[in-house]
Structures are given as C-alpha cells and as structure tokens.
Amino acid sequence: MMTDFESIIQSVYESVKNGDNKGEVASYIPELKDVNPEHFGACLSTIDNRVFGVGDFQKTFSIQSIVKVFSLCMAYRISGQKLWKRLGVEPSGNPFNSLVQLEADNGIPRNPFVNAGAIVICDILLSVLPDAHKDFLTFMRDISDDDSVNYSERIASSEKSAGYRNVALCNFIKSFGNIHNEPEEVLDFYFRICSIEMTCEGLSKAMLFLANGGRKTTDKRAIMNPSQAKRINAIMQSCGHYDESGEFTYRVGLPGKSGVGGGIAAVHPQDFSILVWSPRLNARGNSHRGMKFLEEFTTASQCSIF
C-alpha cells in the first residue's frame, strides 16, 4: 500500500506550526541574523519522482553545512578509499567547530561533517579539480537539475568576516600537514560552498541519489556506486547532527544532515528524501521545528529505518 505522504506532511506541518518555535537564529553569521524566524517549510521527494511540499518549501535559504554531504560525495567518488587516510568516520561528541580533538588525533578530523573535516574535504577538492569553485557548482546544479543554484557572495563574505574559529581550525590542521593548499584558499572555498542558497524542494531532489543507491532518479546516471552511497548514509546517521546525532537517531531514525541556516535533510533509502527548514536553532545548532517535524513525520508514516 502506498504511503499517503501528502496528508501526513500536511498534518505534521500544521501540528508543529501550531506548537512552540523555540531557539535563536544563527546570529554569529551576520547575514543570517536577520532571517525571518517564522519561516517554515518542508518537502519530500520520492525515488519515483513524486514531490510533496508544504509551507515555505519553495523559498530559498542558506543551506550551510548540509552542503558538506555533497562535497563529501564529490571527494569520495574522485578519491575512493584513500579519502579516509585524511579524516575519520566517528562521531565527535563535541561541538561542530571544536578544536579539542584535533591535537589528540594529530590533525585528522573525527568525521567529514564537523567543520574541521569539511575543511579537509575542501582542500582535497582544490587539489584534484581543475577549477574547484566552478566544478563544485556544476555538480550541485547537475544533481538538483537546477541551473539557478549559485553561491551567495554576500553570505560567503559575511561568514568570512566572522570565521575566526574556522581560520584557527584550518591553520591548526595545516600545522599537522593535513592541509596541502594555502589556508586562505581553502577557507575561501569552504565559505563559498556553505553560502549556497536553495529551496526545500531543490535540496530534497538533490539528496535523492542517496536514497536511490547512488543514482539520479531523473536520468538514472550513477553519481556514485551503491557501496559509497551506503557509507555516506551511514556517516549521516552517526555524525550528521554534530553532538546531537545520537538524539536525532533516537527521535527521527533516518540518516540526515543539518545546517545552521535552519535546514535539515534526511533520507529513507530506497524510498525518499525529505527537507525541512525553520531558522530557529536549539542549543546544539539544529533546527528546533525541523527536529520536531521529522520526529512526528517518521512516527506518523512509520518510515524510520529501524
């Protein structure tokens, strides 16, 4: 029997919208502090190309760390298993911008989704791509089937103006020899990819290849092989929400990735991807309403992977 996603999403949306809207927007990034905290949207895309959206699902927002899923996928499909010589796959248990573990781990970030790990991924892409800025944007447009996807120079500049801890992370990793390019170049690329703006609908479609064994659902091309897609989903499950990843697994039960722009992406393998956006963040940097929406959604739809 086909799940009635449309009515479930609408019902859950109304339930969460009528509840509290706790938390604060990501004010430490100047360009994000003025985002309307009442924005709220969600969109689900299935591997047979059905789309169900509600609320502000067609309004663009800054995807921030959700982009780390895509940069990891691009680096993994190019570098293969040797990628894991430069970063790990373990949950960190620390905030996303922590420097604490890097010294003990000799400059090897604990996983690709903490800031340190994503910075190393950017360094790898700069080393292997002819024009990393252009090539990454082409990749994002390809997987989303949307040529309008672009960097926001305004947001990138805003992040750079306040990114002192990321500067420290990059230079600290460089001191261990795990950054091969110049830190300023790596950070410029990192800030730019995090600045990409997309809609819930666009992001849910872009994530679909991870629900479909690594293949796009529109033209059936392989973005990565099934083994790689499985591993990306596994890392999202264990590390996708920083030091709240265990809580997300417990409450939602899907592989996912959050961003401080208020978005949360999640995947149900062989079935769908879903994106929720609400800018107010909890103390761990994850969308308050996004977490609540996905918890209620997987409960109502019985679509947890567990």
Kindly report, residue by residue over 243-299, the tens digit of the pLDDT: 899 999 999 999 999 999 999 999 999 999 999 999 999 999 999 999 999 999 999
42/26 Cα distance (integer angstroms):
20
Domain annotation covers residue 20: yes
Please check the confidence at residue 93 and state whether its pLDDT lies above 80: no
Domain CATH for 130: 3.40.710.10
Asked if residue 64 lies in contact with residue 118, where contact means CB atoms within 8 angstroms, the answer is: no
Model pLDDT for residues 29-71, shown as the tens digit of each residue: 888 999 999 999 999 999 999 999 999 999 999 999 999 999 9
Q: Report d(CA 263, CA 279) in Å as an integer.
A: 7
- Residue partners of 207: CB distance under 8 A and separation at least 6: 45, 69, 265, 267, 273, 275
Residue 272 lies in a domain: yes
Asked if pLDDT for residue 1 goes beyond 60, the answer is no
> 109 — phi, psi (to 5°)?
-60, 145
306 occurs within a structural domain = no
Burial class (CB in 10 A: 0-12, 13-18, 19+), 75: buried
12 within some domain = yes
* Whole-number pLDDT of residue 92: 84
**Number of structural domains found in the chain:** 1
Q: What is the largest CA-CA distance in the chain?
A: 56
**Domain extent for 271:** 5-301
By percentage, how much of the chain surpasses pLDDT 70? Answer: 99
Q: Is residue 188 part of a domain?
A: yes
Query: Is residue 148 a part of any domain in this protein?
Result: yes
